[in-house]
Amino acid sequence: MSDFNSGGWAIFVAAVTIVSLVACLALLAFASKRKVMANDNTTGHVWDEDLRELNNPLPRWWAWLFVLTVVFSAAYLTFYPGLGTNPGTFKWSSTGQWEAEQDKARATMAPLYAKFTAMPAAELAKDSQAMGIGERLFANNCAGCHGSDARGSKGFPNLTDNDWLWGGEPDKIKETITKGRVGMMPVMAAAVGATEDVRNVANYVLSLSGGAHNSVAAQLGKAKFAACAACHGPEGKGNQALGAPNLTDKVWLHGWGEDAVMAMVNNGKTNVMPAHEKRLSPEQIHVLAAYVWNLSQTAKVATK
């Protein structure tokens, strides 16, 4: 696809556009030169015995409409981008318009966000207006992955519980939204050992949360779990500094059971939470972080 970034394509597009407009005018001029034909101005084509094709000129209104279309196209290409890389005399672009609309929206909301910025998450959670804005921000920016109810799905964390990969305090949530996260579970099969060793480790991991497992295999896998302890900790309680999940609860982000755990050990997994610092303003992120934090509170903070 890098070939299409060449400046030659811009020249090609501009040339084709101009030639097309000239061809339209040439076609109109050619069609306007009507040649008188014999046989009562007919072309000689007859259908159904008496239906004859006449050689009448185009209606004048149609011809002028054709000309106006070409003139409008030429004017549009003069004022707006359309001829390759030529920006047009108005210098308009969809990006520029979007940025102008964003700046206008930010200016309108600035006084309100100024008040919210000075409020900590616990206070924002009590403000129905702030939570309403946070809910809309969540719906527009987060619901696509975490779901409209924020309960997530396979591969996308549930934000309504207290199981946090990177920390559930407002400042950590704000950091996650702003900078994004990259969670990587490396392929650990070689470090763990043979296939049977991987199976044993999987059963040991399942035993940590009290799930159904083979107790004999779990005991055999306990020693091999040392290869995993560097991230998940010797007790399997995870490490929020690394985004390593807690294996002692019953929250399974990528599926539960022996086969699912073995697949993670054998294949690894990389998950990406995109950064929103270029999509949302710091003030919006502050309100959104407070909204997400409030979702996970056991007793929701009453709003006024």
Q: What is the pLDDT of residue 302?
A: 47
Residue 44 confidence class, pLDDT cut points 50, 70, 90 = confident
Q: Supply 147's token pair.
A: 């779901």
Same domain as 162, residue 280: yes
What pairs with residue 185 in β-bridges?
A: 269
Domain residue limits at 11: 2-79
Q: Is the Cβ–Cβ distance between 66 and 28 less than 8 Å?
A: yes
Q: Is residue 189 part of a domain?
A: yes
Q: Is residue 95 part of a domain?
A: no
**Residue 153: pLDDT over 50:** yes
Number of domains within the chain: 3
CA 65 to chain centre: 43
Q: What's the whole-number average pLDDT of the chain?
A: 89
Average pLDDT of span 1-17: 76
Distance in angstroms (rounded) separating the CA atoms of residues 68 and 46: 34
Q: Is residue 301 part of a domain?
A: no
Q: What is the pLDDT of residue 53?
A: 81
CA 119 to chain centre: 30
Same domain as 202, residue 162: no
Give percent of the chain with pLDDT exceeding 90. 64
Same domain as 69, residue 17: yes
Q: What is the pLDDT of residue 304?
A: 45
Same domain as 129, residue 193: no
Q: What is the pLDDT of residue 36?
A: 60
**Residue 241: pLDDT over 80:** yes
Q: Is residue 93 part of a domain?
A: no
Kindly give the interhelix angle for 7-32 and 60-79, rounded to the nearest 10 degrees. Answer: 160
Q: Is residue 92 part of a domain?
A: no
Scanning the structure block, which residue is given the tokens 């809309």? 136
CB neighbourhood size of 49 (10 A): 6
Q: Is the Cβ–Cβ distance between 244 and 153 less than 8 Å?
A: no
Residue 31 confidence class, pLDDT cut points 50, 70, 90 = confident
- CATH number, residue 140: 1.10.760.10
Last residue in a domain, options 50, 79, 108: 79
**Residue 104: pLDDT over 80:** yes
Q: What is the pLDDT of residue 109?
A: 84
- pTM attached to this predicted model: 0.70
Q: Is residue 87 part of a domain?
A: no
Q: Is the Cβ–Cβ distance between 287 and 113 less than 8 Å?
A: yes
Task: Give the model confidence (pLDDT) of 107-125 as tens digits.
Answer: 888 888 888 998 999 999 9
Q: Is the Cβ–Cβ distance between 128 and 301 less than 8 Å?
A: no
Average pLDDT of span 240-250: 93
**Residue 35: pLDDT over 70:** no
